[in-house]
Structure 1
Amino acid sequence: MKTKLKKDWRGRTKSIEELHNDSKIWLSEIEFINYEIKFLEHLLSTNYIDYLDSGLHDRIEEFSKEIFNDKNIGTTLKDLIFEHENVLSDLIESDCVISNKNYAATHDNLALEINKFISKYKYLKMQIFEIVENVMQKKQQKKLK
């Protein structure tokens, strides 16, 4: 998705619909991440004893803190997107969306922040999945013995 955005939008001004669509996509991504965070919290808490047995208590604590932090960052980003949409609405009413360079710069900065948030979250999720996979493998080995 990042490549397409860079390729399609570089060097030209986005239309009002495209700006609004960006916000809708961002909100959708953050909502989906929030659902995944709930799942990961549940996953980490239900298998907590197994993680303790595997000696992964510290890493799980660290990931739990990071997940909580990501949840807060997602909420903050959602608030920023809603504010951004309100500014867009005001600019539409005054008919100066395209000519407002400050709004375009803010939009680009918000896009960078959201992409950074999503990338960080995906990396965290990958680390959690690796731990869960390792614990499952150890559990399976114990069953085989």
Structure 2
Amino acid sequence: MKTTKKHLRYAEWLSAEEMHTASKEWLSELNFVKDEHLFFEDLVTRFTSQLIASDKFSNSYEIVDAINRSEKFNNNLIEAVKIHENELQIMVDGVDQKEEEKAYTKEHQDLIIGIKEFLKEYKSLKMQLFEIIKNIKKEDKLNHLLDRK
């Protein structure tokens, strides 16, 4: 499957206030993801023995590795958004700096695309992790019921 690169032209018309609001929303969402990563680490720690004992150990290992990579990428995005937010001054300083303003708008477009793609991949990762944990819980429950008999 071949993907095509989409060009976001509407970002050129966003006001500085709209870009500031978008940056604040991104930071909020990315910080929430950061908290969820902590929850995932706790979840993986809690089910480590079942993940290792599982016949799908390689799949579990890949998910844990993907969580770690996702966490690092999320931290990089948080830093990028903070830097982007701090550079907003270029747009509101009243000085006509066409090239710098154009570069800032381009960076904003790149962040829109990057964050959207990250969140899409993150949602998929989250669903995979929950599916693995759900299967472990089902197996535990089944084993517990079988042991009672």
Normalised to the residue count of structure 2, the TM-score between the two structures is 0.82
Q: Whole-Å Cα distance in 2 between the matches of residues 80 and 62 of structure 1?
A: 27
Contact kept, 8 Å, 1:15 with 1:98, in 2: the verdict is no
The number of aligned residues is 137
Structure 1 gaps of 5+ residues are: 1-8
Larger Rg, first or second structure (1 or 2): 2
% identical equivalent positions: 29
Q: Whole-Å Cα distance in 2 between the matches of residues 52 and 11 of structure 1?
A: 47
Give the superposition deviation at 1:101.
Answer: 2.6
Match of 1:59 in 2: 59
Instruction: Report the aligned-residue RMSD.
Output: 2.1
Q: Whole-Å Cα distance in 2 between the matches of residues 34 and 87 of structure 1?
A: 23
Match of 2:81 in 1: 81
Give the superposition deviation at 1:83.
Answer: 1.6
Q: Whole-Å Cα distance in 1 between the matches of residues 63 and 53 of structure 2?
A: 17
Normalised to the residue count of structure 1, the TM-score between the two structures is 0.84
Task: Summarize deviations over 1:24-81 as a string: whole Å, max 9, x none.
Answer: 0111111000110110111011111122232232222211111111111111111111
Q: Whole-Å Cα distance in 2 between the matches of residues 108 and 31 of structure 1?
A: 20
Contact kept, 8 Å, 1:27 with 1:81, in 2: the verdict is yes
Contact kept, 8 Å, 2:20 with 2:85, in 1: the verdict is yes
Structure 2 gaps of 5+ residues are: 1-8
Worse overlay, 101-110 or 85-94:
85-94
Q: Whole-Å Cα distance in 2 between the matches of residues 82 and 16 of structure 1?
A: 15
Alignment of 1:15-30 (within 5 A): 15-30=15-30
